[in-house]
Structure 1
Amino acid sequence: MDIQTLDYIIIFGFFAIVLSIGIYVSKKSGKSSSEYFLSGRTMPWWLLGLSMVATTFSTDTPNLVTDLVRTNGVSGNWGWWCFLVTGMLTVFVYAKLWRKSNVKTDLEFYELRYGGKAASFLRKFRAVYLGVIFNVITMSAVTLAAIKIGGVMLGLEPWVTVVAAGLITVIFSALGGFKGVVYSDFLLFFVAMAGAIGAAYYLVNLPEVGGIQAIIENENVKDKLSILPDMSDTKAVITLLVIPLAVQWWSSWYPGGEPGGGGYIAQRMLAAKNENHAIGATFFFNIMHYALRPWPWILVALASLVVYPDIASIHEAFPNVAEDKLGHDLAYSAMLTKLPSGLLGIVLASLVAAYMSTISTQLNWGSSYIVFDFYKQQVNPDATEKQMVNVGRLSTVVLMVLSALLALAMQNAMGIFNLLLSFGAGTGLIFILRWFWWRINAWSEITAMFSSGILAILLETTSLRGFLFNPDTGIFPDWGELPFIMIVTTIIWLTATFVTQPETKDVLRSFYKKIQPGGPGWSKVVDEAEADNADIVDSKEKWSVPSGITAMLLGVVLIYSIMFATGYWIYGETKLALILTAVVVVSGILLIRAWNKIKDSVL
């Protein structure tokens, strides 16, 4: 890599600005735990939306997209595109419910919705399970991508990348808290977008690539272009399209795509000024995340097939990269080495921005679990605000160290993505229904969590997978793993739900009175409350779920249409692009009408 003085000025100038933001807001962020983790619940929708988008940029995301495109073609992205349905459900149904709950973390919800020792255990266990274990795995995947980028583009040893990338991130995260994260995300978003778009434009037009038309006509690319899988290939259709759209989006828990909201998405909704700002933030995030952002990465991935048609060619070009780090995902970093000075500095800064945004969010979110849902609940119930902020800062550092150590032992981002999907398979339906069905209790979630995790581990570490899913001799086809875990997990948690006692009347009525979820799933609780002359229904509030589901479907059509229209405009398929653009206009008009109905129901 020929990195010039201009590139270094851009990169170190960016570092200085981000650190300055963390230092600037550190005094106010340290005043209380609410300021440190939720910025006093005063954030506007546009700032929170940009923060969500910046967070999900991540250094591992372009690597993952590149791996998917090079392995399965553009249609391979349906593995994560399907979570748009989850996102739209969160926007138009769950965003206002989360904001009305007024909890500090989404785990505090457990003791609002459930009661007794089971609810307390669930909250504390998931604080460690999600805040530490899952969080560290997610951050290590992001850091692994940084290691690969540092190795290919800068020739850095893995430990050097980990120390350099992690040190600045953990300093400004620990100092600035949530406000520092969100404010810096505003800058990080624009830097990351500029880098991604600039890199795609330059690399597609390299002489050895030859532009869009040359890519489309290239023999290595022709069978990778389709947005939908080959309909004559039954296995591809089931694996890449049917399973994600029919099962995966609602059944799997995945960071950033949790059914019913959750994680750092919930943290931002809880920090919003009000319910309408929570809805606006999540909608803005989804339209940016799915409709506009994937194509620069996809174009670089397609161009990489022209320059580096296989892993051997990548290895030949970069012989110093360790063999255990080789994979199709390296092609993205390999292409970036061809950028000129200036643009290279912007792209390197954008990759640093993506890394810092994701890691800082994960650190602050995971730390909030440790402080509110474990430390204050289990260790020190009388903790002062200062003590909670100090524990938050300490846990931020510890989480960073653990994720860095794990990243040094990892190899491939797509394997981590699939493992996380398996761990959460079958649990998603609970997160959707628990707001609207009174019978779900704490034991429903406990059994779902353990059964899906145990099944995933068994299938990863024993010969059970080969016995069940071997394409030649197994009981099920090889694409059946996720549905298998989902079905077994669902049977287990439904059984647990009906053999255990429901939550007490006091717990259920208190939850209903605060949230006003409405719907037939709560009719038994409402009827019993009326019989006991207990007033739990707010007659002024309309049940917005039917309008929300209508808006969700229109939102899905709108955003997929924008995404696909963009692709077909790029491919030069004008007729399809025009048809989809018309669909965008019509669905957009209908969505505005449905959205207005939802706004009218929000007090």
Structure 2
Amino acid sequence: MIVALLLFSLAVGLLVKDKASEGGMEGFFVAGRKMRWWFLGTSIVATTFASDTPLAITGWIAQYGIAGNWFWWSEVIAAVAMTVFFARKWRNSGVVTDVEIAELRYGGAQATVLRTVKASVFSTFVNCIILGWVFAGMAKISEPFMHWEALLGPGIYSFIEAWYPESLMFQTLDNSITIVLLLMVTLFYSTLGGLRAVMITDLVQFILAMSMSILVAYLAVQHVGGLESMWGQLDTLYPADADSEFLSAERVASFAPAFGEGVTGSLGIPFTAFVLTLGVMWWTSGKVDGSGYIAQRLYSAEDGGQAEKGALWYAFANFMMRSWPWAIAGVAALVIYPRAEVTQVAQDFTNCLQDASYCTAQIATCMDNRYACEISEYALLYKDVDASGNTVFLEDRERGYPAMIRDVMPVGLLGLALASLMAAFMSTVSTHINWGASYIANDFYKRFFDPNASDRRMTWVGRLSTLGIALVSAWVATFIDNIGSMWELYGGMMAGLGLPHLMRWFWWRANAWTEISGMVIGLSLATINFAVGQTSGYGEGQMSIFPAFMASHAVHVIAWISLAAGIGSLITTFLTRPVDESILEEFARRVRPMGFWNGHNHGYSSERGLLASVVYWCTGTVSIYSGMFGIGYLLKLNYALGFGLLALCIVALVITVHGINAVDRGAGDQA
């Protein structure tokens, strides 16, 4: 199964390499701007469907319950906003990278500086952070399965072990061989075929990964006797006991967080932080307008209408389709591997490490060769060092997902399920290395070194950039061992760009200094905050330059950074000169912005008004949330509420799609 997946990916690269060479930059990085909505939307979903995602959700459900998904469910609001306000604008801009929009929007030397700095930060730093946790997730997935010494033989394995560089070691040699092999295949097809190859493989990889995630959830539920039995066993295993160290079944099954336990509540964040997540965080992130790899897909669309429909399809598929197979599998994992039993097994293994008399034959076998281990809970353990310097075994609920695949999937389907997670990994990696390479080729080489480079030369620059980005990202990713702290660093850095990114589309007065000041403030505060946390001993989640009464959680820290950056951006905007009218006119001609442009849009009004867009933003958001929770209540066997919410989803969706299509119908009538 795995070999078939790899051969298919290699074949795609070979089949489309000639098309990737046509059209230079546009052929290689935006697929000739010929993509249909279902193709580009699925590609975005496939990229966000990383191999680490089901692992993260499995861990959240054990720690926070289903309500832990609000960490990413809150992004529904931003996804629909990106659809109705910005998707069509990205396609109409005609750019090759999202940072290129800076010179189109602002002009002048400061816009060139902004474009160059953002390209530098996004192509290397951002990619390294994201690929760091993607590689970490793939390592956890492959660990129970890929026994390379058995596959290659002791002789070849020992040879690789002797020569393999420490600089590319992902925890163990087995993990490293798996990741390097997948990376090499990904590099092959993405380097030869460019974005077109990435999107074709994305489509197949998404179908495979989505099908297998549904099948894993179904077989896991059947393994415990069906949905009714699963919820019943959950109640038995996790009663509402105030003294229990584990989340109760009621809180595991709840869709909403509770805030009755001091400042944390069952979601593990203060109530104020939860409110900030829903009310502030989604629009203060630099990704709110689709900047990054999402924008790359949008300007690969055939036209603005296809970009808008593709973005809407992404929003629905990303949240309605992806949420529940992983959530239900996470609940099933709590039943298949009860937390009390896993904790006891961890203690047994720790005792064995500290005193050989506690070691049974089974424990000794597991520690000697995990692939021959008959204790299923061992797959959920990892080694750590406690405060006294002793090596101990601890529970890692994220490992429950690959362990469950191993234990509930029959032969054949097991290989297909593992291949699907490898496909998800390759999809994410291929997108990020192609996206990062687009900055190197378009915003550095072509902008500064050879503006008149031939299509053939630019294709080869793109290919070499893809290779370089992949190697640098893989090397840096080996140093990332604290994903939580990197998330906070990344979130703080992006918090400085949210408001400036909104201002550049909605308000004529914004200039290059608006974005520069927000980026500098956000990046500086986030970096200082990260450095303080690393040296002050706060540990995970509590690394703050702000007083404790202001920031008791990472969400507070990021919110304060976004507030400081937003105020700084507004002050800077009023203290600096506005953009020249000639630049504004060209931007308005291409993009036709909505919002506060009266007198400065030179007669180029938006295809759809601001008020109408707000209406469809609301109906689209209601549609996704009602559909998402409708499916959830059906899975909880509450059929009346479930079907009622699905009916609301359909009505709101029809209104939203009708509004989106009205723009294209109007354009057709005028023609």
Q: Same fold (TM over 0.5)?
A: yes
Q: Identity percentage over the alignment?
A: 32
The match for 1:537 is: 603
Paired letter, 1:226:
S
Determine the C-alpha separation between the residues in 2 that align with 1:320 and 1:566: 33
Q: Following superposition of structure 1 onto structure 2, how do residues 220-369 of structure 1 map, counting pairs within 5 Å?
A: 221-232=249-260, 235-236=264-265, 238=271, 241-253=274-286, 258-306=287-335, 307-309=337-339, 312=343, 317-318=378-379, 321=382, 323=384, 327-338=396-407, 339-369=409-439
Q: 12, 17, 42: which is aligned to 1:26?
A: 17
Structure 2 unmatched ranges of 5 or more: 148-172, 239-246, 350-377, 386-393
Paired letter, 1:266:
A
Determine the C-alpha separation between the residues in 2 that align with 1:226 and 1:412: 29
The match for 2:571 is: 495
CA contact (8 A) 2:492 2:526 kept: yes
Paired letter, 2:481:
Q
**TM-score, normalising length from structure 2?**
0.81
Instruction: Decide whether aligned partners of structure 1 residues 319 and 195 sit closer, same or farther in structure 2, where only a CA change above 3 A counts.
Output: closer
Structure 1 unmatched ranges of 5 or more: 1-9, 527-535
Q: 498, 501, 506: which is aligned to 2:582?
A: 506
Are residue 162 (structure 1) and residue 152 (structure 2) matched? no
Q: Write out per-residue CA displacement over residues 370-410 of structure 1, whole angstroms, 9 at most, x where no aligned residue.
A: 10011111233332222221121112112222222233333
CA contact (8 A) 2:74 2:282 kept: yes
Determine the C-alpha separation between the residues in 2 that align with 1:114 and 1:590: 36
Determine the C-alpha separation between the residues in 1 that align with 2:290 and 2:657: 22
SS at match of 2:30: helix
Q: Following superposition of structure 1 onto structure 2, how do residues 459-470 of structure 1 map, counting pairs within 5 Å?
A: 459-462=529-532, 463=536
Instruction: Decide whether aligned partners of structure 1 residues 48 and 304 sit closer, same or farther in structure 2, where only a CA change above 3 A counts.
Output: same
The match for 1:135 is: 127
The match for 1:14 is: 5
Determine the C-alpha separation between the residues in 2 that align with 1:289 and 1:97: 22
Are residue 574 (structure 1) and residue 639 (structure 2) matched? yes
Q: 73, 96, 110: which is aligned to 2:102?
A: 110
Are residue 451 (structure 1) and residue 521 (structure 2) matched? yes
Determine the C-alpha separation between the residues in 1 that align with 2:631 and 2:273: 21
Report the Cα offset of residue 208 of structure 1: 9.1
SS at match of 1:438: coil
Which is greater in Rg? 2
The match for 2:140 is: 148
Determine the C-alpha separation between the residues in 2 that align with 1:313 and 1:391: 55
Determine the C-alpha separation between the residues in 1 that align with 2:6 and 2:482: 28
CA contact (8 A) 2:529 2:545 kept: no
CA contact (8 A) 1:275 1:602 kept: no
Determine the C-alpha separation between the residues in 2 that align with 1:231 and 1:578: 29
**TM-score, normalising length from structure 1?**
0.90
Determine the C-alpha separation between the residues in 2 that align with 1:245 and 1:115: 35
Determine the C-alpha separation between the residues in 1 that align with 2:396 and 2:485: 11
Determine the C-alpha separation between the residues in 2 that align with 1:290 and 1:359: 21
Report the Cα offset of residue 268 of structure 1: 1.1
Instruction: Decide whether aligned partners of structure 1 residues 326 and 34 sit closer, same or farther in structure 2, where only a CA change above 3 A counts.
Output: farther
Report the Cα offset of residue 448 of structure 1: 0.8
Paired letter, 1:270:
Y
The match for 1:386 is: 456
Paired letter, 1:291:
M
Paired letter, 1:78:
W
CA contact (8 A) 2:59 2:398 kept: yes
RMSD: 2.5
SS at match of 2:397: coil
Q: Which of 588-597 and 362-371 deviates more?
A: 588-597
Q: 213, 218, 223: which is aligned to 2:231?
A: 213
CA contact (8 A) 1:198 1:343 kept: no
Report the Cα offset of residue 476 of structure 1: 4.1
SS at match of 1:109: helix
The match for 1:188 is: 205
Instruction: Decide whether aligned partners of structure 1 residues 466 and 298 sit closer, same or farther in structure 2, where only a CA change above 3 A counts.
Output: closer
Determine the C-alpha separation between the residues in 2 that align with 1:88 and 1:596: 15
Q: Write out per-residue CA displacement over residues 402-436 of structure 1, whole angstroms, 9 at most, x where no aligned residue.
A: 22223333335454434322221142122122112
Q: Following superposition of structure 1 onto structure 2, how do residues 46-125 of structure 1 map, counting pairs within 5 Å?
A: 46-125=38-117
CA contact (8 A) 1:215 1:302 kept: no
Are residue 586 (structure 1) and residue 651 (structure 2) matched? yes
Determine the C-alpha separation between the residues in 1 that align with 2:181 and 2:71: 32
Q: Which of 75-84 and 561-570 deviates more?
A: 75-84
Paired letter, 2:635:
I
Report the Cα offset of residue 305 of structure 1: 2.2
Paired letter, 1:114:
Y
May I ask how many residue pairs the two structures share in their alignment?
Answer: 577
Determine the C-alpha separation between the residues in 1 that align with 2:217 and 2:50: 17
Are residue 408 (structure 1) and residue 478 (structure 2) matched? yes
Paired letter, 2:8:
I
Paired letter, 1:481:
V
